[in-house]
């Protein structure tokens, strides 16, 4: 009889189960009504509200069963709590997990079992609502819905008990239930204006907030029966799953993409999705944290603007090619367009300049007309290239910018710079060349892209580079070392005593301490070296251009240990922490992977901790 695997969050789950004060308590009508309904509506002789403890399952409410508890290794429910969907066993004698179970070949002679995990507000499964029969049977869709509905009612009662426990213990003692950080997380989770979800590794929803339910049109209970793949647009699944696989392999630390969900009413909705993994103590992915922003209105507006611009360009081309009676009407359209419109003759002199061009570039129409474009909006360093391009096109008919969308730098009348998306079309008119250009200011969009790229490679708390940036930078540093004949070094730094400060003075004090340590690390290395924060109180320093290898690295490490050990003034008191540092080196021309180098430095850091902390260890100088 194979034992059920322990859930990855077992310690937190048991801690919360104990804090809820449900174990070994008298029967309660609110739970007994639910198990009685389950027995009657599903026509089964046994129905249980089972709580899975460390070494037993104990029945808070039971119908048709005399025993108050059974060993955990015999419990069907121990398997059910590790699943994101209900566990249904049609015939236990035919299921290799349960065929030799004492509860199957002996009293109560279980043949049929159906159990739905009962989860806390944080998504931890504490037990199940289950229905059992002494005869094999199939469970109909209607019966499954009944069991899920009753489990939802029971879950809401458990959530109510959680809130009572948190209120009773106050925030200082809330670690017995969820932990102070978990209580703050749930508060943010529930009131956030963006969708937030905890997603199991198999794609099932563990916990979702109200904002996400509003985006997709499903209730929280309905989402529990679905995976994220089932509500993702078919055309977007491959990209999403591919990025998720890169997370699993460690090739990414998070990812962000725009994709479409299919709402319950069948309508498509565009969202911006950001996904990051949550690891357990064993370093395995426990679940994913997904942040979902509704960008449907923005995407549809972009599509409408693109359609309007395409139509406007077509109409402008028609006007320039055949002027005609509609010239006045088209001139009005151009004048009131959302994009800047500039007309040029073959000498590059401005012949048209609409209202939006005035607003975008700051030049009034009367001053712009008759001047060359390089005098108005082209940066000085690009002016000659623009003139060469005009001459080449007039001579050969070949152009690098015509009839395509380009992002180019531009300058306003006041000298400030901007980035514009440019679409230029060249036309033959009356035996000569004319040019029509639409320009859209995309400065804010480009700045936002730069900001997002910065945030994806930097730690939000300290401003240091993050793990993703390290994994990108290390191969480049190794290549430079190969060319120069120098050595690359890695320092893995872990603070000694940080947890005690964090626990005794709070996370705010811990954050201040990490910020001070980050500044000391920056100040303690050369300009050619880089400092990274991996997670928590773990940092790395990438050393480049090293000649004396281990001795150089040890000197830097000892300097950093001394700097970190200086007292830090926190609100109310000064504290002192130390650091343990491990060193790994990669000689010039080395072929070691980034993860290998990091792993070796991590290994020697742990050797430093075992040897008494506050010291440096490496292959050359073991502790």
- Compute the distance between CA of residue 523 and CA of residue 560 in angstroms, rounded to an integer: 9
Tell me: cis bond preceding 108? Omega within 30 of 0 counts. yes
- Which residues are the active-site residues? 537
Give the DSSP letter string of 85-110. Answer: S-EEES-GGG-TTTTT-HHHHSTT--
What's CA 230's distance to the chain center, in Å? 20
Partners of residue 287 on adjacent β-strands: 278
Nearest to 464 by CA among 543, 530, 558, 561: 530
Contact present, 248 and 230 (Cβ < 8 Å): no
Phi-psi region of 117 (alpha: psi -120 to 50; beta: other; left: phi over 0): beta
Contact present, 496 and 609 (Cβ < 8 Å): yes
Give the DSSP letter string of 414-462. Answer: TS-EEEEEEEEEEEEETTEEEEEEEEEE-HHHHHHHHHHHHHHHB-TTT
**Pairing outcome for strands 616-617 and 578-586:** parallel
- Compute the distance between CA of residue 302 and CA of residue 216 in angstroms, rounded to an integer: 21
- Compute the distance between CA of residue 254 and CA of residue 453 in angstroms, rounded to an integer: 12
Contact present, 611 and 617 (Cβ < 8 Å): yes
- Compute the distance between CA of residue 122 and CA of residue 594 in angstroms, rounded to an integer: 35
Structure tokens at 59: 């029945």
What's CA 619's distance to the chain center, in Å? 37
Burial of 431 (0-12, 13-18, 19+ CB in 10 A): exposed
């Amino acid at each position: 009889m194979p034992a059920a695997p322990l859930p990855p969050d077992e310690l937190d789950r048991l801690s919360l189960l104990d804090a809820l004060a449900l174990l070994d308590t008298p029967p309660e009508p609110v739970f007994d009504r639910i198990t009685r309904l389950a027995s009657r509506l599903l026509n089964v002789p046994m129905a249980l509200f089972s709580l899975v403890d460390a070494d037993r399952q104990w029945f808070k409410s039971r119908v048709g069963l005399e025993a108050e508890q059974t060993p955990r290794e015999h419990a069907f429910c121990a398997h059910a709590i590790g699943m994101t969907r209900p566990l249904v066993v049609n015939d236990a004698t035919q299921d290799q997990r349960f065929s030799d179970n004492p509860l199957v070949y002996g009293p109560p002679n279980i043949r049929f079992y159906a159990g739905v995990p009962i989860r806390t507000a944080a998504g931890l499964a504490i037990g199940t609502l289950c229905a059992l029969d002494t005869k094999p049977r199939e469970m109909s869709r209607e019966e499954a819905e009944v069991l899920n509905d009753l489990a939802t009612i029971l879950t809401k009662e458990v959530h109510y008990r959680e809130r009572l426990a948190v209120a009773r213990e106050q925030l200082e003692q809330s670690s017995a239930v969820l932990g102070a950080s978990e209580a703050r997380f749930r508060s943010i989770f529930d009131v956030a204006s963006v969708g937030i979800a905890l997603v199991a590794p198999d794609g099932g929803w563990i916990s979702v907030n109200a904002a996400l339910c509003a985006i997709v049109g499903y209730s929280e209970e309905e989402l529990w029966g679905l995976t994220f793949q089932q509500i993702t647009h078919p055309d977007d699944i491959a990209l999403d799953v591919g990025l998720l696989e890169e997370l699993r392999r460690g090739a990414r630390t998070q990812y962000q993409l725009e994709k479409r969900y299919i709402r319950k009413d069948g309508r498509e909705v565009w969202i911006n999705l950001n996904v990051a993994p949550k690891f357990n103590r064993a370093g395995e992915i426990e679940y994913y944290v997904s942040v979902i922003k509704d960008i449907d209105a923005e995407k549809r507006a972009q599509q409408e603007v693109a359609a309007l611009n395409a139509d406007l360009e077509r109409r402008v081309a028609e006007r320039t090619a055949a002027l005609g009676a509609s010239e006045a009407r088209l001139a009005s359209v151009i004048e009131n367009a959302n994009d800047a419109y500039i007309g040029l003759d073959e000498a590059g002199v401005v012949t048209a300049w609409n209202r939006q061009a005035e607003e975008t570039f700051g030049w009034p129409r009367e001053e712009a007309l008759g001047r060359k474009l390089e005098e108005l909006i082209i940066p000085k360093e690009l002016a000659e290239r623009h003139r060469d391009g005009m001459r080449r096109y007039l001579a050969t008919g070949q152009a690098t910018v015509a009839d395509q969308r380009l992002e180019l730098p531009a300058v306003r009348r006041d000298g400030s710079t901007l980035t514009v998306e440019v679409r230029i079309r060249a036309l033959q008119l009356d035996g000569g060349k004319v040019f029509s250009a639409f320009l859209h200011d995309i400065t804010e969009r480009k700045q936002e892209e730069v900001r997002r790229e910065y945030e994806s490679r930097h730690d939000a708390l300290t401003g240091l580079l993050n793990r993703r940036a390290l994994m990108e930078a290390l191969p480049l540093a190794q290549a430079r070392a190969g060319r120069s004949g120098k050595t690359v070094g890695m320092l893995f730094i872990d603070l000694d005593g940080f947890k005690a400060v964090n626990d005794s003075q709070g996370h705010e004090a811990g954050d201040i301490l990490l910020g001070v340590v980050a500044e000391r690390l920056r100040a303690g290395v050369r300009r050619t070296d880089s400092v990274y924060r991996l997670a928590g109180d773990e940092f790395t320093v990438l050393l480049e251009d090293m000649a004396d290898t281990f001795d150089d690295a040890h000197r830097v490490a000892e300097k950093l240990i001394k700097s970190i050990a200086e007292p830090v003034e926190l609100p109310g008191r000064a504290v002192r922490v130390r650091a343990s540092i491990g060193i790994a080196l990669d000689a010039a021309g080395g072929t070691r992977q980034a993860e290998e180098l990091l792993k070796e430095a991590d290994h020697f850091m742990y050797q430093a901790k075992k040897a008494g902390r506050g010291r440096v260890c490496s292959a050359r100088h073991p502790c």
